[in-house]
Structure 1
Amino acid sequence: MDGSSPLGQGGLFLLQFLIGLVIFALMLRFLLRATHADWRHPIVTFIAKVTNPLCAPVNTVIPAKGRWDVSALITAVVIQAIFVTAIGWLTDRSFGVAFISLAATTEVANQLMDMMFWLIIIQVILSWVSQGYNPNTAIFDQITRPILEPFRRIIPPIGGMDLSPIFAILAIKLFQIVIIGSIAGLAQQMIG
């Protein structure tokens, strides 16, 4: 299949979209477990049921213990590595194992950081518009609270304003630019 033809580009877009959804679900599973989100919540239950079949093979080798769902991370990296390999095949390029590993790892890390960024943004907006307890919005607080807590310890609220989301977002974006960007640059040098 020619990756430059409209059909090839459409197929590539569809494949990228589907893989993106799967990686999104796996990263959300990882975050939900890492932040001790309420497993009775319908969103959490849905994500667990959808991703369990994908994570089951890894869980047989590395059982899930505690708050870190390593199977979700490993599964995401493996799926992303298969996708990078498929991109190489569809575009008639040959990628080495080192490039595939680095590209898959950096893409999964980027998606995890992007998810954290957007969850914080959503939580900030919800905190302005939703007063009182709402189980549908409480899940965002459950996920973002452990991310924001270290920043809240360093930067206490000033005049009733919680500035920790601003500093958390800055830290996330700096991590993406400096650390993940450096690794992605190293990967690009392997094919260029």
Structure 2
Amino acid sequence: MTSPLGQGGLFLLQFTVGLVIFALMLRFLMRATYADWNHPVVTFIAKVTNPLCAAANKAMPTKGRWDWAAIITALVIYGIFVFLIGLLTDREFGLLFIVLTSISEILNQLLDMMFWLIIIQVILSWVSPQPNPNTIIFIQMTQPILEPFRRLIPPISGLDLSPIAAIVAIKLVQYVIVGYITLAAQSMIGMPG
């Protein structure tokens, strides 16, 4: 059983890593959706994550909309986190387990973020139908996600059903694809690394 001090340290580690991964995934989505880099939130996330992504950016410079440095940095940080959890809990995790767990966690975080961005955008569109500087970032980030679904499902009587289709697709990807990656990782616990 872990001591209260150990539990506190574990919580602090999980919280810090979660916050860093959140910022990196937000950075990835902001670039992928061409969010306005002059928006204060986007500027803040860029400044906070630039030092973290510096090494990966040197190896793989960002070109266009895909910020692979943010994804690689997130994978490395989460991999180190899983390794540290193994050390702190006296468990030995193999390299493949660490890689698969990191991939499933990063994909889950990214898909959860897309899910909540869509939910927030839908609520904001009801509460504040006219875009303003505070809500425009949500429109910019959800537009590219919803666009393919809008082409498949045009508005019916002025009602846009694309957010529902996008949410269903996101959740299906989480349950099926990420679920299988997670199951593969869990099946390796206890296997030699």
Q: TM-score, with normalisation over the residues of structure 1?
A: 0.97
Cα distance in structure 2, aligned partners of 1:9 and 1:70: 33
Cα distance in structure 2, aligned partners of 1:98 and 1:183: 11
Deviations 1:36-85 (A, max 9, x none): 00000000000000000000111111111010000000000000000000
User: What residue in structure 2 maps to residue 144 of structure 1?
Assistant: 142
**Cα displacement (A) at 1:133:** 2.5
Cα distance in structure 2, aligned partners of 1:178 and 1:71: 26
2:152 aligned to 148, 151, 154, which one? 154
5 Å matches for 1:18-167? 18-167=16-165
Cα distance in structure 2, aligned partners of 1:181 and 1:9: 28
Cα distance in structure 2, aligned partners of 1:9 and 1:153: 49
**Cα displacement (A) at 1:131:** 2.6
Cα distance in structure 2, aligned partners of 1:57 and 1:174: 34
**Cα displacement (A) at 1:14:** 1.1
Cα distance in structure 1, aligned partners of 2:135 and 2:171: 24
Two-structure CA RMSD over aligned residues (Å): 0.9
**Cα displacement (A) at 1:7:** 1.7
Letter in 2 for 1:164: S
Deviations 1:107-144 (A, max 9, x none): 01100000000000000000001132201100000000
Q: Which runs of 5+ in 2 are unaligned?
A: none
Letter in 2 for 1:144: T
Cα distance in structure 1, aligned partners of 2:45 and 2:179: 29
**Cα displacement (A) at 1:102:** 0.3
Cα distance in structure 2, aligned partners of 1:53 and 1:124: 33
Q: Which runs of 5+ in 1 are unaligned?
A: none
Letter in 1 for 2:162: S
**Cα displacement (A) at 1:157:** 0.6
Percent identical residues: 72
Deviations 1:129-166 (A, max 9, x none): 11322011000000000000000000011111101001
SS at match of 1:135: coil
SS at match of 2:156: coil
Cα distance in structure 2, aligned partners of 1:164 and 1:30: 22
- Runs of 4 or more off by more than 3 Å in structure 1? none
Letter in 1 for 2:52: L
Cα distance in structure 2, aligned partners of 1:49 and 1:135: 20
Aligned residue pairs total 190
Cα distance in structure 2, aligned partners of 1:12 and 1:124: 36
User: What residue in structure 2 maps to residue 174 of structure 1?
Assistant: 172
**Cα displacement (A) at 1:5:** 2.0
Cα distance in structure 1, aligned partners of 2:124 and 2:16: 28
